Amino acid sequence: MNTSEMTAKIAAGKGFIAALDQSGGSTPKALKGYGIEEGAWSNDEEMFGLIHQMRARIITSPAFTGDKVIGAILFERTMDGQVDGKPTPQALHDRGVVPFIKIDKGLEDEANGVQMMKPMPELDPLLARAKGLGVFGTKERSVINSANREGIAAIVKQQIEVGQQVLAAGLVPMLEPEINIKSATRAECDQILLEELTSQLSAMPGDAKVMLKLSLPVQPGLFDPLVDHPRVLRVVALSGGYKRPEACVELSKNRGIIASFSRALLEDLRAQMSDAEFDASLASAIDDIYKGSTQKVGVAATV
């Protein structure tokens, strides 16, 4: 797929984006969920080797194709690795899946109710390498824990600034100002984030589009203005700690928003499964998430 084909698929394709980007801190938890306990590796290289095997098994499964999975977000090591003897982004291209790369380096300590992204001094070389490997876009995560307008405005500003750096490198940024779904002021956070994104995206120089990866709002349909915003290519949703059935129900209530799930996609997969069991379990998860992304309930239009 060339850039225009990938853009068209992400802008209007039916399906969802798989998040396969667990990084250093979250890798042991992801492996434990997959049925591999912490004593199974003796160093980081072995740990990352095990998580790469899991991701390669997912990507090469017959269930994992561009018919329902339109994109996949990769961890940097996964992007630089190989699947089926090919660079991982090429393996995704061959399956009709658009590749993205996680670029953030973790979170700062909380201040003003939010956790900003840590500095990314090596971002430009990473973007150049990703572009050379056929990656389409990036993903960058920060977290909102409480309804502090100053903090939320700062998070949006940082997200857009990094997004502009990504655009300058010829990639499409996926801005992810995640709202903690356990926040006591979650509904207020939703409203402030909507206002800040709307105003700051409208003020963004140029005419290039970004993507948004958001927590599903308390009030279904609240983010409709972002779905329709002229500077937004696509809005995707994270599962945010919901189990898959609940995440898919909440997703189905929001017009124009598709999934970009990680835990909710992987939660039933186990290393000990036979290939037939693994493929069937993955196919079932993909079907559920595809349905939540494309069959909307109580809204006027479908994706």
Confidence check: pLDDT of 303 > 90: no
pLDDT per residue as tens digits for the range 248-258: 999 999 999 99
Q: What is the CATH number of the domain that holds 56?
A: 3.20.20.70
Q: Domain for residue 254, yes or no?
A: yes
Number of domains in the chain: 1
pLDDT score for 133: 97
Percent of the chain with pLDDT over 90: 90
Is residue 302 domain-resident? no
The answer to whether residue 299 sits within a structural domain is: no
Q: Which residue has the higher pLDDT, 298 or 188?
A: 188
Model confidence over 73-127: pLDDT tens digits?
999 999 999 999 999 999 999 999 999 999 999 999 999 999 999 999 999 999 9
Whether 221 is in a domain gets the answer yes
Q: Does any domain span residue 300?
A: no
Encode pLDDT of 211-233 as tens digits: 999 999 999 999 999 999 999 99
248 lies in some domain: yes
Instruction: Answer yes or no: is 301 within a domain.
Output: no
pLDDT digits (tens, 9 = 90+) for 23-53: 767 788 889 999 999 889 999 899 999 999 9
pLDDT digits (tens, 9 = 90+) for 256-284: 999 999 989 999 999 999 999 999 999 99
Residue 202 is encoded by which pair of tokens? 């409208």
Report the catalytic residues: 176, 213
Give residue 24's pLDDT. 62
Range(s) of the domain holding residue 87: 3-294
Query: Is residue 173 situated within a structural domain?
Result: yes
Q: Is the pTM of this model over 0.85?
A: yes
The pLDDT score that the predictor gives to residue 228 is 97
Mean pLDDT of 157-162: 98
